[in-house]
């Protein structure tokens, strides 16, 4: 099959990668044919080496179940997939925190080949059926939309709260669309014209990074993937406010913990989120991610797709199989 291979921080397109097989001990898993896959910031950071990984990248996808021994009635279902495959029996899993299972594999990130290939494997319990009313191009956003919704699972956001998102890229735009539904006073730091136009289309206020008031926001969400974004978030949050960290990037960061303590700032790390609510928002048309799509590439042009996605102002690049 075709696949995008990462090894030693180098990407290569391959058309002779063995198709995944479902072994006897993997009876609870399914083989999925990928329809569409999306490139995200985590993929780019993995190429830079933020986490040591060799194999097939990619974790945002929509596809079709083509093989499974445990539930043959599900063959033919159009699905998206939660990316953490947990053991289900460790203390972390039994506490209901499967995304932190120490034995987990993570699609395209940790010890499990990902979605930048014609086929992938995931446990059946990870695969969620996509309602017929949701297009493939909308469904491929389920994983990042779920990550955006995770913020509201972790932090109470009131209509009276002053909220700032630092970064209006792929994830920042989705977070903005979900947070505006809470009725909070929301502003988004946006650098590029297209980002600002998209926010304005949804009646979401944007602000230039040089015009952000200091110590003014109850909740600040950092989504730039840069140290500069974290610095701006720290400047913008009020005493006893909350900073939500959404970025993953290679390298160490320096932060003055004394000022965090003096100002009694709460730091919240935020990763994966709930798929079912994300699909409900897409089904009800409360979230419209289609306008975020800049380019679509056939999979044999995947290396060109990665060149495109890093261009300034680019939001979403999709890969499809002919």
Q: What is the pLDDT of residues 187-196, one digit of tens each?
A: 999 999 999 9
DSSP annotation of 50: S
The torsion region of residue 183 among left (phi > 0), alpha (psi -120 to 50) and beta comes to left
For the chain, the average pLDDT equals: 94
Question: What is the pTM for the complete model shown?
Answer: 0.93
Task: Write down the pLDDT at residue 51.
Answer: 84
Burial class (CB in 10 A: 0-12, 13-18, 19+), 89: exposed
34-38, 74-78, 144-148, 169-173: least confidently modelled range = 169-173
Rounded distance between C-alpha atoms, residue 161 and residue 183, angstroms:
9
Rounded distance between C-alpha atoms, residue 267 and residue 154, angstroms:
11
Q: Which residues contact 119 (CB under 8 A, 6 or more apart)?
A: 1, 19, 20, 31, 32, 33, 34, 66
Question: Over 80: is that where the pLDDT of 159 sits?
Answer: yes
Question: Over 70: is that where the pLDDT of 25 sits?
Answer: no
For residues 78-102, average pLDDT: 94
CA geometry: angle 175, 176, 179, nearest 5 deg: 80
Rounded distance between C-alpha atoms, residue 221 and residue 308, angstroms:
26
In the chain the domains, ranked by start, together with CATH numbers, are 3-141+289-320 (3.90.180.10), 145-269 (3.40.50.720)
CB atoms within 10 A of CB 304: 14
Token pair 């996605």: residue: 309
Rounded distance between C-alpha atoms, residue 26 and residue 37, angstroms:
24
Question: Over 80: is that where the pLDDT of 182 sits?
Answer: yes
Confidence category of residue 203, pLDDT binned at 50, 70, 90: very high
Q: What percent of the chain has pLDDT over 70?
A: 98
**224-278 per-position pLDDT tens digit:** 978 889 999 999 999 999 999 998 766 677 788 899 999 999 999 998 999 999 9
Confidence category of residue 315, pLDDT binned at 50, 70, 90: very high
Task: Write down the pLDDT at residue 121.
Answer: 96
CB atoms within 10 A of CB 26: 16
């Amino acid at each position: 099959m075709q696949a995008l291979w990462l090894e030693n921080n180098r990407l290569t397109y391959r058309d002779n990668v063995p198709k995944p097989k479902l072994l006897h001990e993997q009876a609870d898993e399914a083989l999925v044919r990928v329809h569409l896959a999306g490139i995200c910031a985590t993929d780019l950071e993995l190429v830079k080496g933020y986490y040591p990984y060799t194999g097939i990248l990619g974790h945002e996808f929509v596809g079709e179940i083509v093989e499974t021994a445990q539930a043959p009635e599900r063959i033919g279902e159009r699905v998206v997939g939660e990316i953490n495959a947990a053991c289900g029996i460790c203390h972390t899993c039994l506490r209901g925190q499967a995304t932190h299972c120490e034995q987990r594999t993570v699609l395209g990130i940790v010890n499990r080949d990902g979605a930048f290939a014609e086929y992938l494997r995931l446990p059946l319990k990870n695969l969620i059926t996509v309602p017929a009313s949701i297009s493939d191009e909308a469904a491929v956003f389920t994983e990042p939309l779920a990550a955006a919704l995770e913020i509201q699972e972790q932090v109470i956001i009131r209509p009276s709260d002053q909220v700032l998102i630092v970064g209006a890229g792929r994830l920042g735009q989705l977070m903005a669309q979900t947070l505006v539904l809470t009725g909070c006073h929301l502003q988004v730091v946006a650098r590029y014209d297209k980002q600002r136009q998209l926010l304005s289309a949804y009646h979401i206020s944007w602000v230039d990074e040089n015009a952000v008031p200091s110590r003014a926001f109850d909740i600040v969400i950092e989504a730039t993937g840069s140290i500069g974004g974290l610095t701006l978030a720290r400047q913008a949050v009020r005493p006893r406010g909350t900073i939500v960290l959404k970025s993953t990037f290679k390298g160490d960061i320096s932060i003055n913990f004394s000022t965090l303590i003096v100002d009694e700032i709460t730091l919240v790390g935020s990763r994966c989120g709930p798929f079912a609510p994300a699909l409900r928002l897409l089904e009800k048309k409360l979230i419209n991610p289609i306008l975020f799509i800049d380019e679509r590439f056939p999979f044999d042009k995947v290396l060109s797709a990665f060149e495109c996605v890093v261009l300034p102002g680019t939001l979403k690049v999709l890969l499809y199989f002919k």
